[in-house]
Structure 1
Amino acid sequence: MKQSCYLIGSRAVGKTYIGRLLAHRIDYAFIDTDELIQQEVGMTIAELVGQRGWPAFRGIERDVLRRCSRLDRVVVATGGGAVLHGDVWPQIKKRALVVWLTAPIEVVLRRIADDPGSGSLRPSLTSGDQADEYEAVMREREPLYRRLADRTIAAGSLDSDRIVADIIKIVQTFQQ
């Protein structure tokens, strides 16, 4: 029986927002791996990446995922690149349902542009144009999202209540 739920997907698809709502509705604890990393290192992700580089961030992210994989009754909103840690996911998949939230590129780019804190939470991965970066990153990560996901939910046009209700149905199915 799977006792937790992990939300995966690209930047700005709504993993944190949906994750908080979901955790509240099913009375699970909520963890946002990016927020946990920032608390632990005492700086924003952008500062961490700027000072120590992406490899340091990814190492901390891997450790956070490993710790989360031991917990039950949690909803975990992962960073967009969490799927890169292939060695951690078998343990997570034993204990958790994995839901891939998707959204069209236009929706993701609009959400990033509309979020004043986006720069500190979502530092550039390539230093290029956002649309080009998104497409390049998705070419690399989409097969990983697809392979890890137990279910996929299009989160670009549905309202949050509907998305959460759909995930709750899925969670209930996996708990039987």
Structure 2
Amino acid sequence: MTTSPVNRLILGDNLEILKGMNGETVDLIYLDPPFFSNRNYEVIWGDAGEKRSFEDRWEGGMEHYIGWLKERVEHMHRVLKPTGSIFLHCDWHADAYIRVGILDRIFGINNLVNEISWKRTTNPHNDSRQGAKHFGRITDIIYFYAKDSKVYTFNS
């Protein structure tokens, strides 16, 4: 097992790094996984010369996606200190599956601290097109779980 430097930010697939970390060494985890949107993304960062993309398509469907994410969250739970917390950002594509199938099972229902509704923009737009059969989807969810709801650290 390796010790982790203080204030480390990990970008990318964290599974191998998590497997190599000592247990109960992390204070806070913010997780922004793929959303199971069944889309490909191309994003320009900064200037036209730097282009990054990723694919959010899952062969095997929701079951495969939840299994992939659950394995990572299990390791995150292991590395969190007893006073630690996790914030998991998701949207409507898989939020219920993530909460019930992963977070409630691993952290326990009583360790849900908040379900934060995050409005993506201050512009009151929505993604509902004319003829669409749904209201606009303008919020995401951030689940806030403590490893132990009796002793977690909270700094507003």
Q: TM-score over 0.5 for the alignment?
A: no
Q: Which has the higher contact order (CA 8 A, sep 6+)?
A: 1
TM-score using structure 1 length: 0.33
